[in-house]
Amino acid sequence: MRSVSVAQGADTGRYPFTLPAVRSVIQAGCLELNPGVTLLVGDNGTGKSTLVEALAVAAGFNPEGGSQSFRFATRATESSLGDALVLRWGHTKPRTGYFLRAESFYNVATAGSEQGAGGGGLGFWVAGERPTARSDNDLHVALA
Ligand SMILES: Nc1ncnc2c1ncn2[C@@H]1O[C@H](COP(=O)(O)OP(=O)(O)O)[C@@H](O)[C@H]1O
Ligand SMILES: [Mg+2]
């Protein structure tokens, strides 16, 4: 993913477009994403998470996290911003990926264990195993 912009014609006078993080993307025309790592920095509540969750949705990921093919939902908290984002990809769009959303990773791990081995892209998962059987660190290291 090389850059993200907000679609022409979006009603930018209201939430979530009025959040500072989204407003900066609109004002700059687009947000260029470094091929390595991009860090978003800003005060709490300025819309960093809202923007990242919308990027994930626009890229075809489950809003709560997981791999592209993973579909489950506990409680929808994402905004509608994902529908209004225009993504620009490099020469090749990666065919695999993983949206690691920290605040809902436990939900992904729980749904993954219920779906059996490989659920949620968690290839290391043992079917039926509860997420509590592993520490957060174990889960993150196994995912990496
Ligand atoms: N439906 C809504 N209408 C207006 N503001 C909202 C709504 N839902 C969430 N917000 C606000 O949007 C902001 C979201 O911030 P968030 O993306 O979590 O920021 P960050 O990750 O930078 O801390 C919060 O300030 C929250 O109060
Ligand atoms: Mg946040």
Nearest CA to ligand 1 atom 16: 47
Number of domains forming the structure of the chain: 1
**Bond prior to 35 in cis (omega within 30° of 0):** no
pLDDT surpassing 80 at residue 9:
yes
> Domain range for residue 90?
3-143
Find the angle CA(10)-CA(11)-CA(14) to the nearest 5 degrees: 135
Q: Write the pLDDT tens digit of every residue in 69-121.
A: 777 666 666 678 999 999 999 988 888 888 888 877 777 777 776 665 555 55
107 lines ligand 1 (CB under 6 A): no
* Phi, psi dihedrals of residue 31, rounded to the nearest 5°: -110, 115
50 lines ligand 1 (CB under 6 A): yes
CA of 91 to the centre of ligand 1 (A): 34
Tokens of 60: 């075809």
Most confident segment among 38-47, 65-74, 124-133: 38-47
Q: Write the pLDDT tens digit of every residue in 127-137.
A: 556 666 666 66
- For 48, residues 6+ apart whose C-beta sits below 8 A from its C-beta are 21, 40, 41, 42
Ligand 1 atom closest to Cα of 46? 22
| Single pTM value for the model | 0.84
Measured between alpha carbons, how far is 139 from 49 in angstroms, rounded to an integer?
21
- Residues facing residue 6 across a β-bridge: 85
Nearest CA to ligand 1 atom 24: 45
